[in-house]
Amino acid sequence: MNTVLSFVVTFLMGALCSRLALQLEIAALRHQLSVYQRAHRRPAIASSDRFLWSVLARVWRGWRDALFLVQPRTVIRWQRERFRDYWRQLSRGRCRGRPRISPELRSLIRRMWQANPTWGSPRIVGELEKLGIDIAKSTVEKYRPKLRRPPSPSWRTFLQQHMRNTVAIDFFTVSTVRFRVLFVLIVLGHDRRKIVHFNVTEHPTAEWTAQQLVEAFPWEPPPKYLLRDRDAIYGKHFRKRIRSLGMKERLIAPRSPWQNPYVERVIGSIRRECLDHIVVLNERHLKRILRSYFAYYHRWRPHRSLEMDSPAGRPVHSPEMGKIIERPEVYGLHHTYIRKAA
Q: pLDDT for 221-236, tens place per residue? A: 899 999 999 999 998 8
Q: pLDDT at residue 154 above 70?
A: no
- At residue 49, the pLDDT reads 73
Whether pLDDT at 102 is above 80: yes
Nearest to 319 by CA among 299, 300, 338: 338
SS3 category, 298: helix
pLDDT score for 1: 55
pLDDT grade for 205, boundaries at 50, 70 and 90? very high
Position with higher pLDDT, 103 vs 97: 103
CA atoms of 340 and 342, how far apart (whole Å): 6
- List the chain domain ranges: 2-92, 103-142, 159-336
pLDDT of residue 72: 78
Rounded CA separation 127/103 (Å): 18
Q: For 54-95, what is each residue's pLDDT tens digit?
A: 777 777 676 676 666 677 788 788 888 877 887 877 776 665
Q: How much is the mean pLDDT over the chain?
A: 82
Q: Is pLDDT of 204 > 80?
A: yes
End-to-end CA distance of the chain: 84
* Res 304: pLDDT: 81
Average pLDDT over residues 308-326: 86
pLDDT digits (tens, 9 = 90+) for 163-188: 788 999 999 999 999 999 999 999 99
The residue type at 183: F
Amino acid at 23: Q
- Determine the CATH number of domain 159-336: 3.30.420.10
For residue range 22-45, list pLDDT tens digits in order: 665 666 556 556 656 665 666 667
Gap between the Cα atoms of 241 and 206, Å rounded: 10
Q: Which residues lie below 8 Å from residue 134, measured CB to CB, with a gap of 6+?
A: 128
Specify the pLDDT at position 68.
66
* pLDDT at residue 9, rounded to an integer: 64
Whole-number pLDDT of residue 195: 95
The rounded distance, in Å, linking the Cα atoms of 90 and 161 is: 61
Residue 160 has pLDDT above 90, yes or no: no
- For the chain, the maximum distance between any two Cα atoms, rounded to a whole number of angstroms, is 118
Q: Which of the listed ranges 2-6, 98-102, 153-157, 182-186 does the model predict with the highest average pLDDT?
A: 182-186
pLDDT > 80? residue 197: yes
Provide the whole-model pTM: 0.55
pLDDT digits (tens, 9 = 90+) for 253-298: 998 888 888 999 999 999 999 999 999 999 999 999 999 999 999 9
Q: Of 46 and 228, which is predicted with more confidence?
A: 228
Residues 6+ apart with CB under 8 A from 184: 171, 172, 173, 174, 198, 199, 200, 286, 290
Element (DSSP H or E) covering residue 280 = none
